Chain A
Amino acid sequence: MSPLMNYTRRRKVKNIILDLLIALVVIICVFPFVWMFMTSIKTRVQTIDPSIWFFQPTLENYRAIFQKRDMFMYINNSIIVVLFTTLVSVALGTFAAYGLARFQFNRKEDIAYWVLSLRMLPPMAVVIPFFLLGRFIGLLDTHLLLIIVYLSFNIPFTIWMMRGFIEDIPRELEEAAWVDGCSRFQAIRRIIFPLIAPGVAATSIFCVIQSWNEFSLAFFLTSFNARTIPTTVTFFLSVLGVIWGEMAAVGIVATIPVLIFALIVQKYLVRGLTFGAIKS
């Protein structure tokens, strides 16, 4: 065998091994989701038998969670909270981002980094005062309280994401509009906004995902009326003998929208995960 053939052969083997490793990584990442899906279409007996991989699927669990367990109410609660907190954060945050991106003033970076530091607050430190205040003014277990509390991480996130998107747009475009007689606000509306629209959409989707998935705050601040989907898992913990099939059905219903949203913003994912610090 010539050395060259030997070399290409070794490289081929190496590539196959690396591909197999990638396959392994992908399988590990996907498996719990697949298992959740399989559990959701199993009957109650099948859910506690891991050796069954092929079976007659049933939609019984899905029927049960919508008929017996008020899933519509929790979905509705989640949608209300997520929608309003996202709208308010994106509206307020985008303007603040514009202020940071386009003006020079004292201590600008200090303000920007102070805002970012709020995103790191532990939920346990936020939830105690909000729980007590909510109790005093009777706002516990309302959508409004959750919407307000969620602003505390969505506004900082929006400011940082949108600042990056706005800074990506050349100033000259805006300045040309001013020369043509636009006011600053008109220029924002006519020039900047159409250009940052994809960024606004991506940022909104990130806000939706993180609010939709939020558990710690919702768990303490709601009890019945305003309960969101992630907190419904507590039902399955308190009941003796977990009803895995229904639990998994709730999981599938709750996570499918998130996965679809995540695929839409895949391009901006790293940017979103690092608050705009790393653009890719």
Chain B
Amino acid sequence: MKNKKKEHYWYLLPSLLTLVAIVIFPTIFLWYMGFTNYDLTMGWEQHKLIGIKNFQYLAFEDKDFWHSMKISLWFMVFTVVIEFVLGLAIALLFNRRIRGKRLWMSFLIIPMVITPTIISLIWKLMLNTEYGVLNYILSLFSIAKINWLGYENALWSVMMVDIWEWTPFVALILYAGLQSLPQEPYEAVVVDGASPLQIFYYLTLPLLKPMIFIAILLRSIDSLKIFDIVYGLTQGGPGNATELMSMHIYRLGFRHTNWIGRASANAMVLLVIITILTNILLRIMRRGTREEF
């Protein structure tokens, strides 16, 4: 059905124009800001273009930039791997006959729909060294108090909260995948006498591949962007222990220094990394799931 009247424009244009106005235009503005010396304390007319100086600053002078880059990537890799492994385990756990399954699964939704900043503050209470409930429970097993949010452990604690929040997300996606697997190949391999482990490795995992890719990439992108949980739990501290990339941008641009130009340059770096990941995700979605519809 080709339509020569371009009728589809009337349906698409309102949304597309809105998105161009509220996303493309500000993004161009961000790129411009990344090449200026603007900071919040100066008048707008005083700002001027300074070339790539902001990027030079980030690369050669700002040690915290490299630190935030490093721990952000580490944060992403670690949380995504753990969330995938645990999520797959939970999906398999639920992928059998259980009484009241729907009810049990509805509890899994709680971590990911609950307001992240609020629940991260509750975690902050639970992780308190002196009166946190986690250390209390550990003390029942005579385990010594852990300083969860101290310099050594803070990043691990933020990771733990992220894993708590998003493992159910991975589990639900993979569970949906498991439920939609075709039956025939399984009947065939059971006849051939394959062991459960072989079936899982050679059949289930390959069939789940599109879902696995989507879950992993969505999680990777979101964990690189993370701001709310970090803000609630540690605000980047102690010191720079949990200063992930978004937190560093916040510090540069708003908190102490007001260097909007440098913060914009850093935001551009984050944007480029996320755009690369997004393109990989979209390519896989395009190849894998969309065409089957």
Chain A contacts to B: CB under 8 angstroms: 18-19, 21-22, 25-26, 28-30, 32-33, 35-36, 39, 47-51, 92-93, 95-96, 98-100, 103-105, 109, 111, 113, 115-118, 120-126, 128-130, 132-133, 136, 148-149, 151-152, 155-156, 159, 164, 167, 184, 209, 212-213, 215-216, 219-220, 229-231, 233, 236-237, 242, 244, 247-248, 250-251, 254-255, 258-259, 261-263, 266, 269-270, 273-274, 277-278, 280
Contacts and interface: CB of A to CB of B under 8 A. Distances in A.
Contacts of B26: 126, 129-130, 133
Given A129-B29, A251-B119, A124 B267 contact: yes
A51 B293 CA distance: 54
B122 A35 contact: yes
- Consensus secondary structure, chain A interface: helix
Given A230-B117, A270-B172, A29 B125 contact: no
Given A19-B98, A95-B15, A103-B1, 8 more contacts: A92-B14, A105-B6, A123-B246, A125-B268, A151-B18, A230-B115, A258-B113, A270-B176
Contacts of A155: 15, 18-19
Interface stretch (B48-56, B197-205, B247-255): B247-255
Contact of B113 (A113, A233, A242, A259): A259
B241 interface: no
B15 A96 contact: yes
A69 B268 CA distance: 38
B27 A21 contact: no
Interface in B114-131: 114-119, 121-123, 125-126, 128, 130-131
Interface string B239-274: 000000110011001100000100110011011001
A118 B113 CA distance: 21
Contact of B290 (A96, A103, A216, A277): A277
Contact of A103 (B3, B98, B221): B3
Given A98-B11, A100-B12, A125-B271, A269 B33 contact: no
Contact of B115 (A50, A148, A242, A258): A258
A244 B228 CA distance: 19
28 contacts: A22-B98, A29-B111, A33-B114, A35-B125, A39-B122, A50-B132, A99-B10, A100-B12, A109-B286, A120-B221, A122-B224, A122-B267, A124-B246, A124-B250, A125-B27, A129-B27, A132-B33, A215-B116, A215-B117, A220-B254, A230-B115, A233-B117, A247-B121, A251-B115, A254-B118, A255-B118, A266-B109, A273-B172
Contacts of B168: 29
A21 B110 contact: no
Contacts of A167: 293
Which of A22, A237, A278 counts the most chain B CB atoms within 10 A?
A: A278
Given A25-B90, A29-B110, A118 B19 contact: yes
Contacts of A273: 112, 169, 172-173, 218
A22 B113 contact: no
B179 A122 contact: no
Contact of B119 (A18, A26, A28, A32): A32
A68 to B, nearest CB: 18
Given A29-B111, A95-B15, A278-B177, A132 B260 contact: yes
Contacts of A278: 173, 176-177, 211, 214, 289
